[in-house]
Structure 1
Amino acid sequence: MKRWIWIIISVLVIGFVGYQYYNSKTSSTEATTQVRTATVQKGKLEVKISGSGAVEPVTSEDIKATEDNNEIDEVLVAAGDKVTAGEELVTFTDDSDPITAPVDGTITSVSVKAGERVTSGFAVAHLTNYTDLQTVVQVDELDIPKVKVGQTASLTISAYPDTTYTGKVTAVADEGSSESGSSTFDVTIHIDNPANLKVGMSSEASILTDSKDQALYVPVDAVHTSNNEKYVIVTSGNTSTSEQKTVKTGIANDEYVEITEGVSEGETVQLPELSSSSSSQSQGFMMRGMDGGGGMPPSGGGSQGQGQSSGRSGNE
């Protein structure tokens, strides 16, 4: 009698496991689609170009003698001294014009001493201004045509991740450097208030190349192209009805694109669908049934809701 009971139990277990396995294999081929939409927004849209680099002094230069064979009478500074523009640094025994500081800064090295003779062009000292700083960042060749002198930039310094610095583009290199088949160009950004910054610190710059107030915009993947025409799919109600509308676009960044014609603020546009397999859910139920964690899957099952993504400009 006991033997028959064990046989029946074994058959039931094998049948249950087989059913779950078959069910999981069947449901793995069933994919559900998730309808994604976004609302046409109105606000400020900004286009920014990024680049990375390091903090540098605006002024770091050798101070050179301008006369030949002059004998030095006195060296008035030492390495580490702070000087102001016009301050005397070196005097001569023949009372010729002394060598003076061209700008404010710090003397970082001195290479002469009293009694020595110098010739024109010889570097007697080096001066660096540590309070007037800039950063030189590398910008990709595809983005460099958008970068112009005078554009503003926000800066993040690795040493101070919670502080945002500001600056302005002062120079754009005419010649780039190539590596791994692509080129980058140096862009120099003067830092407005470089408090606490030190030469050599790494930096990340975000250069504002275009901006528009009261722009209509949608996520970039809402816009499709066919036969050289751009269009969006406008939905209404519960997305049961839709209409294809031809649009014209304006400025764009990595996330959003301006719509200059074709849609109105508040309209709902459809985004590309995302497919998700239900096999992982079914397999999870099967495993719980086998390890004693749950038995049969709950009735009714879960349902996929509609996801909605609303566009926002980068600084809203």
Structure 2
Amino acid sequence: MWLANQTLDGDFFLLGIFSQTSHPGLLCFLIFSIFLMALSGNIILILLIHIDSSLHTPMYFFINQLSLMDLIYISVTVPKMLVNQLAKVRTISVLGCGTQMYFYLLLGGAEYCLLAAMAYDRYAAICHPLRYSILMNHRACIFLASGCWFVGSLDGFMLTPITMTFPFCGSHEIRHFFCEVPAVLKLSCSDTSVYETLMYLCCVLMLLIPVIVISGSYYFILLTIHRMNSAEGRRKAFATCSSHMTVVSLFYGAAVYTYMLPSSYHTPGKDMVVSFFYTILTPVLNPLIYSLRNKDVTGALKKMLRAGKAPY
């Protein structure tokens, strides 16, 4: 019903980031290149994890889920943005806008929870190595991953219909390159302050619980590392955690800016730059972080390349 009602008001117009530059063609080529790098990087990582039996562990199971989320994440926004630029149009239908919003919220919420699950996995591996196979058995991994996807879908189902139900009786120009909730709400001619407060509290809760899990996990990890007598053991423990902490810092930093800072800190330009970072750049950085800094992944990649060159 909400899509049917809003369709009567016409399409939205995505002003995007190309209107902010004097070289839109160059920017379009750059974004397309980043998009291809993100697709190829995440697909290769997913294939490696599925093909190489040495990567069939809980840690790589969660990395596989992260790559899948990043793959869908960047595919939700970038293709539409590039097609609009090449076709010299800026419209997006109400259905397309709602679809973008739903998948963006789903994948964002799922990734918050997945990063917490990955932190718990590192805690179990380092602090309870003898019980690790029991704590993180296949059923536990499936349960945690399913829970992440469920929480993300719940976030999308709650916020998307409410956001799209508000009347948009003024300009339909979204000062963004995709239908992000804060950017769409600015077009509403009704009072959205109560909803924005509720959304703020919801986002704080969505961020706070994973942050508590991540902080608690790394607190006990650091205590365990401090008690280790072996320098090699410390180095390996830090190496397995550093990649995850890098991704956490990138993703949560952008999320805190977008959903937790007061509106006085926001401008359309800043919002687009931050959104560009975590919707387009982060999906291409994640596979690099988990492959270049991981000997298991680089070893599996070399093995696959050698197998591909082997004569038949």
What TM-score results when the alignment is normalised by the length of structure 2?
A: 0.19
Which one has the bigger helix percentage? 2
Larger Rg: 1
Which one has the bigger strand percentage? 1
